[in-house]
């Protein structure tokens, strides 16, 4: 594993985005280094999910450039680009007619891996996200709890070993205990596989727990970009507004 | 009497043939059209509106309208099948659109995000998830076509309707029943069969 610091995997230069004449992202400059978890924090409608979709090539830019692995996204075939990024969304979005195993093995299947290699990979992945393969492989998504579905969503995102993970509020819909459980598992997983992640959340507690750096968005613009341990000391009003939600007892 | 039984059997087979051809043609038109229409909201509304409108034309009148037309008109099976297709289109088109449009947004979003092509999404996600809805459309189309096809005899289409019209002309109930009973049995059997298929696939 090479996680050389200063080695950018993703660069956003003056990225702007307009949908229906409304500016969603305004002139964003941001670099994601290999191995880090950069958290995009912001209120609903701040543009953080749109930023993730722009990186994934789903939402077009109105200005600026995104470079992934040194190549401008315009030069990428969008299908190839997306297969090199694991994507986890809030509702998991598992295919209801496929088994847990088939869901986890989606990208290897699309990539044409041999079936025995896919089967092996599925078992390794389910193990890694805390779902014993023998028990869960053949279940259907409707037989899973919310937390289990999200674990499968994470396994699916990791399946083809993509160099970048995009996570769009993956734990937001879970109950607090399950959420904490998955957050800890995410940290453990990150230590084990050294993934780079761009992680969207509106929960400052989650941002501080999981992020190596935190980028605070407001009305589509980048307000604050700080290492997670310095973020609590930010004087920025929007940052303070988020930090205030932690409550008196925890406030720094 | 034996001759009568042969006649009924022949008419039943002819009836089934008319229905099968009608459903095959309507499905070949409506299912791809439904798939193509899903992303285009306005075109979709227009097509469903047209299919709805076709549904409201009384069937006997529609056969009459088609009679004078070149190629598709005239006395015989072709005209009957064209008219029956127009009725079968709506349930097939509507249920294709409903089935595909009914795929959960999160499922579609994740399929795109994981790098599936348009064709892969259709093949692995949208069509399999639309199957139950498609079969419901097929059931409605088949059952109504079996019933409506009896009227095709009025324009020389043949089938079980021949007995019904003959029975009405002769005021002979048993002749009417010779057409009506096999048609009803066929409709019930098709409905049961497709319902079984629906359960099996979902």
Q: How far is B178 from chain A (nearest CA, A)?
A: 45
Across the interface, which of B106, B117, B128 has its CB nearest the CB of A91?
A: B106
Average pLDDT over residues A224-249: 89
The three-state DSSP-derived secondary structure of chain A is CCCCCCCEEEEEEEEEEEECCEEEEEEEEEEEECCCEEEEECCCCCCHHHHHHHHCCCCCCCEEEEEECCEEHHHCCHHHHHHCEEEECCCCCCCCCCCHHHHHCHHHHHCCCCHHHHHHHHHHHHHHCCCCHHHHCCCCHHHCCHHHHHHHHHHHHHCCCCCEEEEECCCCCCCHHHHHHHHHHHHHHHHHHCCEEEEEECCHHHHHHHCCEEEEEECCEEEEEEECCCHHHCCCHHHHHHHHCCCCCCCC
| Chain A CB within 8 Å of residue B52 CB | no
Chain A residue with CA closest to B128: the answer is A97
**pLDDT for residue A3:** 41
For residue A1, what pLDDT is reported?
38
Q: How much of chain B, in percent, has pLDDT values that exceed 90? A: 56
**B122 shares contact with chain A (CB less than 8 Å):** no
User: Does residue B92 surpass a pLDDT of 90?
Assistant: yes
* pLDDT for residue A150: 92
Cα–Cα distance for residue pair A166/A143, rounded to 1 Å: 26
> pLDDT band for position A6 (50/70/90)?
low
Nearest CA in chain A to B132: A97
CA distance B42 to A202: 36
Higher pLDDT, B181 or B76: B181
What is the DSSP-derived secondary structure letter of residue B202? -
pLDDT given at position B121:
95
Q: Is the pLDDT of residue A251 over 60?
A: no
* A249, pLDDT greater than 80: no
Rounded distance between C-alpha atoms, residue A192 and residue A70, angstroms: 25
Higher pLDDT pick, A194 / A64: A64
Q: What is the pLDDT of residue A2?
A: 40
A110:B114 CB<8 A:
yes
Mean pLDDT for the stretch of residues A130-139: 94
The average pLDDT across A170-186 equals 90
Least confident of A41-45, A100-104, A142-146, B48-52: B48-52
Inform me whether the pLDDT recorded for B166 exceeds 50.
yes
**Interchain proximity B113–A94, CB inside 8 Å:** no
What CA–CA distance (Å, rounded) separates B31 from B28?
6
pLDDT at B81 over 60: yes
- pLDDT tens, position by position, B11-45: 999 999 999 999 999 999 999 999 998 888 888 88
Q: Which residues contact B17 (CB under 8 A, 6 or more apart)?
A: none
**How large is the average pLDDT for residues A68-81?**
92
| Distances B162 to A233, B20, B153, B154 between C-alpha atoms, Å | 89, 18, 5, 8
CA distance B61 to chain A (A): 44
**A237, A218 in Cβ contact below 8 A?**
no
What number is the average pLDDT over the span A152-171? 93
Residues of B with Cβ-Cβ distance to A80 under 8 angstroms: 115
Select from A147, A195, A137 the least CA-distant residue to A170.
Answer: A147
Check if B174 contacts A (Cβ < 8 Å).
no
Is pLDDT of A250 > 70?
no
- Residue A4: the pLDDT is 43
Give the whole-number percent of chain A exceeding pLDDT 90: 78
């Amino acid at each position: 594993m090479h996680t050389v610091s200063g080695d950018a995997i993703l660069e956003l230069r003056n990225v702007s985005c307009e949908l229906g004449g409304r500016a969603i992202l305004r002139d964003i400059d941001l670099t994601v280094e290999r191995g880090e978890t950069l958290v995009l924090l912001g209120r609903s409608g701040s543009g953080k999910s749109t930023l993730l979709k722009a990186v994934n090539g789903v939402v077009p830019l109105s200005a600026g450039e995104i470079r992934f692995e040194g190549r401008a996204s315009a030069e990428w075939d969008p299908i190839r680009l997306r297969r090199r990024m694991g994507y986890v969304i809030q509702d998991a979005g598992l295919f209801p007619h496929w088994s847990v195993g088939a869901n986890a093995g989606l990208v290897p299947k699309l990539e044409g891996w041999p079936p025995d290699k896919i089967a092996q990979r599925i078992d390794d992945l389910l193990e890694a996200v805390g779902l014993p393969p023998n028990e869960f492989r053949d279940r259907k998504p409707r037989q899973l709890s919310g937390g289990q579905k999200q674990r499968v969503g994470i396994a699916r995102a990791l399946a083809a070993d993509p160099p970048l993970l995009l996570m769009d509020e993956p734990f937001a819909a879970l109950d607090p205990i399950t959420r904490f459980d998955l957050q800890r598992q995410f940290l453990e997983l990150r230590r084990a596989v050294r993934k780079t992640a761009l992680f969207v959340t509106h929960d400052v507690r989650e941002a501080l727990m999981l992020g190596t750096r935190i980028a605070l968005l407001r009305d589509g613009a980048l307000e604050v970009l700080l290492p997670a341990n310095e973020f609590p000391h930010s004087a920025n009003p929007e940052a303070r507004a988020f930090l205030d939600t932690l409550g008196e007892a925890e406030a720094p | 009497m034996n001759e009568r039984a042969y006649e009924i059997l022949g008419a039943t087979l002819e009836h089934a043939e008319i229905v099968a051809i009608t459903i095959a043609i309507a499905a070949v038109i409506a299912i791809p059209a439904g798939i193509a229409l899903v992303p285009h909201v306005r075109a979709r509304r227009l097509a469903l509106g047209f299919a709805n409108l076709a549904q409201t034309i009384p069937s006997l009148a529609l056969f009459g309208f088609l009679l004078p037309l070149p190629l598709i008109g005239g006395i015989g099976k072709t005209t009957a099948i064209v008219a029956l297709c127009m009725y079968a289109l709506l349930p097939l088109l509507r249920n294709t659109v409903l089935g595909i449009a009914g795929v959960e947004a999160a499922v579609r979003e994740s399929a795109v995000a994981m790098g599936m092509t348009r064709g892969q999404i259709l093949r692995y996600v949208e069509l399999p998830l639309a199957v139950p809805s498609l079969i419901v459309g097929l059931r409605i189309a088949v059952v109504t076509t079996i019933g409506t096809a009896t009227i095709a005899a009025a324009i020389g289409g043949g089938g079980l309707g021949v007995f019904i019209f003959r029975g009405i002309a002769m005021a002979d109930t048993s002749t009417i029943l010779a057409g009506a009973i096999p048609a009803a049995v066929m409709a019930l059997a098709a409905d049961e069969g497709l319902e079984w298929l629906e359960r099996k696939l979902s």
